[in-house]
Amino acid sequence: MGKGDPKKPRGKMSSYAFFVQTCREEHKKKHPDASVNFSEFSKKCSERWKTMSAKEKGKFEDMAKADKARYEREMKTYIPPKGETKKKFKDPNAPKRPPSAFFLFCSEYRPKIKGEHPGLSIG
């Protein structure tokens, strides 16, 4: 996975992502030694998010707007690295690879099957 540019700005977070982050911090404060079952934790967070009022969600939406502004500001100054070198073109005079066993099998049996089933289209 090491193909990413380390200088590229971190992506923008959604309001829900900020909410989950605060839920995780609250859970760590209450239960510092407990291990977290990710699926259960996600279900509980999503239920809490669904039951929250728009006023309560507003705090997280403001955080998301600020993070989006930060991301756009950093992306303006970010210069992506140059693309990779061009792909080598295939030599037209190079010898062809020998056919695989499956290809030989198919070329042997294809006429028989076409004769038995003329309406059937084969690859």
**Is pLDDT at 2 greater than 80 in this prediction?**
no
pLDDT at 3: 66
pTM score of the predicted model: 0.60
Residue 57 lies in a domain: yes
Residue 4 lies in a domain: no
Burial class (CB in 10 A: 0-12, 13-18, 19+), 23: middle
Give the domain CATH number at 89.
Answer: 1.10.30.10
Residue 42 lies in a domain: yes
pLDDT at 51: 93
For residue range 67-120, list pLDDT tens digits in order. 999 999 998 988 887 766 677 788 888 898 999 999 999 999 998 988 888 888
Closest CA to 10 of 72, 83, 65: 72
Total domain count, the chain:
1
Residue 10 lies in a domain: no
